[in-house]
Amino acid sequence: MPIVAIIDVIASRKLENESRKKLINDLDSLLKEFNKAWRNKLIAKSTITGGDSIEVAARSWIPIISLLHALLLLNIKFRVSIGAGELNIIRKHADECDGPAFWKARDALEKAKSRDIPIVYSLDKTANDLEREDVKKLTLAYSLLLKMSHIQRKYCYDFIWRNKTITEIARKYGTTKSNISMTIKKSMCRLLKRVILGDSKGKIVSRI
């Protein structure tokens, strides 16, 4: 059930040398943690290509949305393209794989660039019903994250991916439980977590 994502950092080449170096280091560190946390759910090891793009090949939409959530917390601008269909696994890294899923993701990336929109998906005729459904869930989940404020994303990240309680999050950020609860409620984070838990059979493994 391969789903391919290409995450393209916007205008990264316009950054000054030090800022670009920090960005690349941040992406590299995050991706190492991601590959370790989700190794059983990835078809190939996710890689950075061209210095500022990430390629992911996963067995479901959940690892990809966890990575997108973590990237949003870095306060960098990026666009996402999603492809689904057959995948040719050539070697162990995602950028060494090929096939309809990757072709569709690359086509979608060009559309995202030309239309200046944050996420586009394209499905090959070889994609099955489950893959199609997963791509739709991924797109909707990411759209929901984009609507959140930065503080909502931070609280929601701890709530979903670190499985922290309201009390633990409040203690971490030095605020009240009622503030955390209200912020999470307004962000629809609980709904997102229920969907993720339903598709992951009640287990969320990410610690990135």
Quote the pLDDT of residue 36.
95
Of 147, 166, 187, which closes a domain? 147
Confirm if 46 and 34 have CB atoms less than 8 A apart: yes
- Are 54 and 102 part of one and the same domain? yes
Quote the pLDDT of residue 62.
95
Confirm if 119 and 157 have CB atoms less than 8 A apart: no
Beta sheet of 78-84, edge-to-edge order? 42-49, 53-58, 3-9, 78-84, 119-123
Helix (H/G/I), strand (E/B), else coil: 40: coil
- Are 90 and 7 part of one and the same domain? yes
pLDDT digits (tens, 9 = 90+) for 52-66: 889 999 999 999 999
- Are 50 and 103 part of one and the same domain? yes
- Are 24 and 52 part of one and the same domain? yes
- Are 133 and 156 part of one and the same domain? no
Angle (CA) 115 148 106, round 5°: 30
- Are 35 and 126 part of one and the same domain? yes
* pTM, 2 dp: 0.91
What CATH number corresponds to the domain at position 52? 3.30.70.270
- Are 134 and 182 part of one and the same domain? no
The average confidence (pLDDT) of the chain is 90
Quote the pLDDT of residue 206.
57
pLDDT tens string for the chain (208 positions)? 689 999 998 866 666 777 778 888 889 999 999 999 999 999 999 999 877 889 999 999 999 999 999 999 998 889 999 999 998 887 789 988 889 999 999 999 999 999 999 999 999 999 999 999 999 999 999 999 999 999 999 999 999 999 999 999 999 999 999 999 999 999 999 999 999 988 666 556 555 6
Quote the pLDDT of residue 124.
93
Handedness of CA 169, 170, 175, 181 (dihedral sign): positive
Of 109, 129, 147, which closes a domain? 147
Helix axes 150-160, 177-187, angle to 10 degrees: 100
Q: How many domains would you assign to the chain?
A: 2
Of 131, 147, 163, which closes a domain? 147
Determine the structural domain holding residue 199 and report its residue range: 149-208
